[in-house]
A and B are shown apart, each in its own frame.
Chain A
């Protein structure tokens, strides 16, 4: 048997796929937040950042394709594992108890699926810039700053000027953080990298990361909603 058979066919192999792809996606989520925080610095900074990314199409597309592969594998493993899990308990208990399991750990599939829907919307909103979904009646693709670059700053301000959309983003990020508060500590376990001594540290780091992501990502729509950035 070769390694691919172990990876794709066995229960533990599928968990490795889920863990590795999850880890890659977490790294992206952190990098994406750090890059986006340049919005708080001002128009010049975020527009320059956006311009930099678009002048490196190889980098941009390699990242995009890589992320797509990661997401597809992550969702595939989630569905395959969940289907097996459902089949393993066809009859449930009359009295349901959580038995010490956390809310985040019991709702991974749901939080993951909602986050996926959010990502699809987010891509249509800011990447594809489909005018139909931004509820402002404007085309974000036509926003250009004084130096002729894409005006990402105005796009974000305009994008979050609709409270419903800003709140939807905050809910999406909240669920992502919930997902990661369990997912990050769990991926160490799936890869066999969590021992008793390190478990508290890993769990704590996962919680801290979830909180940092919420603060970082929420700061952007909140700064628009409160009128700090306009």
Chain B
């Protein structure tokens, strides 16, 4: 396959960026999207130019490092799949592909396609944990958890914190992320003690980081590689209401 890439290039946070055009030649359809980018970068390097920078780590869809808006869709639009797990067979020969970084004031572009997503870390640090000492590994069923709750907590915990929800939302809202993190702890017995304190603190940090507000468009849910449901934002709203009344 031969493709034309339009890639966002930006030297640093304060520089103005622009698109640069590259040719991706002899791409094997079974390559992942990131492998294809590696091939193009190697050619750029061989020509003595600076390759474009993009984030990646596990390349198996579990770490949340890869973060590319491909033709206007975070992670490229193959449902439930991260950019690193997207394969070139989903594109066609001769296609032009536009690749942009996540766009949000809370995720400033550090370089080319890499954004600074530490705002998510600060949200987690403000309450996305359980501070009780748990001791050694407890017996499997010492603490009863109902199957529906366990399943739902697991669904929420599938969030890899990639930020595609923020990238897709027209308001750059982080509510799906915060909702997932608040829910996976709030659904389990160990998370109860700090449940309402947690939600209030995490929402406060989310607001201070400059994310937008949910207008229930559902774009976040549609692009989420872990298919986190909009339902969790409903839970977030519910818990926050109770939390604010308790304060």
Contact = CB atoms under 8 A, between A and B. Distances in A.
Given A99-B223, A192-B234, A11 B170 contact: no
A16 to B, nearest CB: 7
Interface residues of B, number: 53
A196 B73 contact: no
Interface in A53-91: 81, 84-85, 87-91
A2 B244 CA distance: 8
B229 A105 contact: no
Given A1-B247, A81-B213, A95-B98, A193 B234 contact: yes
A91 to B, nearest CB: 5
B222 A11 contact: no
A179 B222 CA distance: 22
Nearest to A90: B105
B229 A196 contact: yes
B105 A194 contact: no
Contacts of A125: none
Interface stretch (B31-39, B44-52, B87-95, B235-243): B235-243
Nearest to A77: B213
Contact of A91 (B103, B168, B231, B233): B103
Contacts of A185: 216
Contact of A192 (B171, B218, B237): B237
A6 B71 CA distance: 39
Given A16-B237, A94-B100, A189-B216, 11 more contacts: A3-B244, A3-B247, A12-B236, A81-B215, A85-B170, A94-B98, A96-B72, A100-B221, A100-B223, A101-B222, A189-B214
Interface of A: 1-3, 6-7, 10-16, 81, 84-85, 87-102, 105-106, 108, 182, 185-186, 188-196, 199
